[in-house]
Structure 1
């Protein structure tokens, strides 16, 4: 009887302990780093977890219920964590967003987030085709309703539902703000672009005026920006198509200063081409402030005399970009 009571006591304490923590088991093919980071919605590290040589990690820790991010190098996934969740996931870091899949307790919520991330690029592409305030408002309302309907059709944690609804509203507000900003950007076309002086991966200082006599296609981005990373393959293809022509491809990172080495590593690992630069004051750089850069990715096209052709140029993934570049005297 004493042994049985002791066993029951241990079992009960184990169950209580499990309910007070979240359990994560991840298997990452082609892992990027030896450590993954769990960050809260404010970007603060909650956990640093070692990944073994096979790309596997397992961890248990207590959390406040809510939204988090899992980072493997510059790649990341949104998570909804709650004590008592027991999540297993598999992914290939070379196709991070496309392959992430969850199972176990808490899987419905986290698969919802993974699916939403996969759909975001399509939503943004459709949004970029809109031309009027009325069309933008109608599009955003349709997107909000679609997300709400999916949430209501599922059996999700109530706090998850409220968090995703809030997130959706905030994201759609950002899209509306982007549309208004794009109108203001069009007024910059034809004006003189201010000079900049940023360092490249070797520490060499590079100025905009160094490219005088060439067209300059500028990509403003950051390593943590999912939509920015999604443009990399198309940007590489565009660079290859116009290699040797009178156009320079310049990418400017607005990563914070402490992530300089992380940026250099990302550039090397992804074999990024063109001229890779690091903005001196990230978002507060004079060049960024002049063009009102508040969201990324952002693309600019400058002519050989240093004048702005387009302060909100088409993305590399947009077929219209090559049609525009083909018409230039390159």
Structure 2
């Protein structure tokens, strides 16, 4: 009986080691279906009040596009850091657009303290951004409209802050 338990533990450890690279945060420097010269696909999506939000509304700004869901624990982890950075850099050439892939309520957004624009995803935007298959997935867009970075998994506050500062310095 003990031998059987040890075998199961070893198998689970091996499986965990094998799966770990696919679970942890992955940063893709604009390579996954995109290159550094790829323009961010435009979109027009509705917020919870029905107002249209267009990516083109943020021309000449650094934009973080974050695909997320209310049921996603890693998404909930990164939202407070996003909010801090949005508060620090909004009005200085930076914004965040949260794109919810599920039905989200105004009370959820309020409870999470989200003050940046939140819009509802559709199949077209999911496909245009490389068939989003995991969330959270974030795209940092430069002031020239090109994709700078794609992050699958939690985009840490410190990494995002550094990336935003560098992108704001970049004269497009």
Q: TM-score range by the shorter chain?
A: 0.7 to 0.9
**Residues 1:214 and 1:221: Cα distance change in structure 2 (over 3 Å):** same
Q: Where does the alignment leave 5 or more consecutive residues of structure 1 unmatched?
A: 1-151, 154-160
State whether residues 315 and 321 of structure 1, in contact with CA within 8 Å, keep that contact through their aligned partners in structure 2.
no
Equivalents in 1 of 2:73, 2:154: separation in Å?
14
RMSD: 3.4
Task: List structure 1 runs of 4+ shifted beyond 4 angstroms.
Answer: 176-179, 313-316
| TM-score, normalising length: structure 1 | 0.42
Deviations 1:67-122 (A, max 9, x none): xxxxxxxxxxxxxxxxxxxxxxxxxxxxxxxxxxxxxxxxxxxxxxxxxxxxxxxx
Counterpart mapping for 1:130-141 below 5 A: none
Give 1:313 deviation, angstroms: 7.8
1:321 is the counterpart of 2:168: no
Kept after mapping to 2: 8 A contact 1:189/1:311: no
Partner of 1:43: none
Instruction: State the secondary structure of the residue aligned to 2:151.
Output: coil
8 A contact 1:238–1:316 mirrored in 2: no
Change in Cα spacing, 1:310 to 1:237, as seen in structure 2 (3 Å) is same
Q: Render the CA deviation track for 1:115-171: whole Å, top value 9, x for unaligned.
A: xxxxxxxxxxxxxxxxxxxxxxxxxxxxxxxxxxxxx58xxxxxxx89xx49x65x9
Higher relative contact order (CA closer than 8 Å, sequence separation 6+):
2
Q: 1:302 to 1:314 in 2, by over 3 A?
A: farther
From the superposition, tell whether residues 178 and 327 of structure 1 become closer, same or farther in structure 2 (CA, over 3 Å).
closer
- State whether residues 65 and 98 of structure 2, in contact with CA within 8 Å, keep that contact through their aligned partners in structure 1: yes
Task: Determine which of 129, 133, 156 is the counterpart of 1:291.
Answer: 129
2:62–2:164 CA contact under 8 A, matched in 1:
no
**Partners of 1:253 and 1:173 in 2: CA distance:** 26
Comparing both structures, which one devotes a greater share of its residues to strand? Answer: 1
What secondary structure is seen at the aligned counterpart in 2 of 1:322? helix
C-alpha distance in structure 1 between counterparts of 2:21 and 2:127, whole Å:
18
Residue 329 of structure 1 aligns to a residue whose secondary structure is helix
Aligned equivalent of 1:219: 66
Match of 2:90 in 1: 243
Q: Deviations over 1:256-278 (max 9, x none)?
A: xxxx3x43331122221211111
CA distance in 2, matches of 1:177, 1:291: 21
Structure with larger Rg: 1
Aligned to 1:263: 105
Contact 1:216 1:249 in 2 (8 A): yes
Cα distance in 2 for residues equivalent to 1:177 and 1:190: 27
Residue 203 of structure 1: CA displacement?
0.8
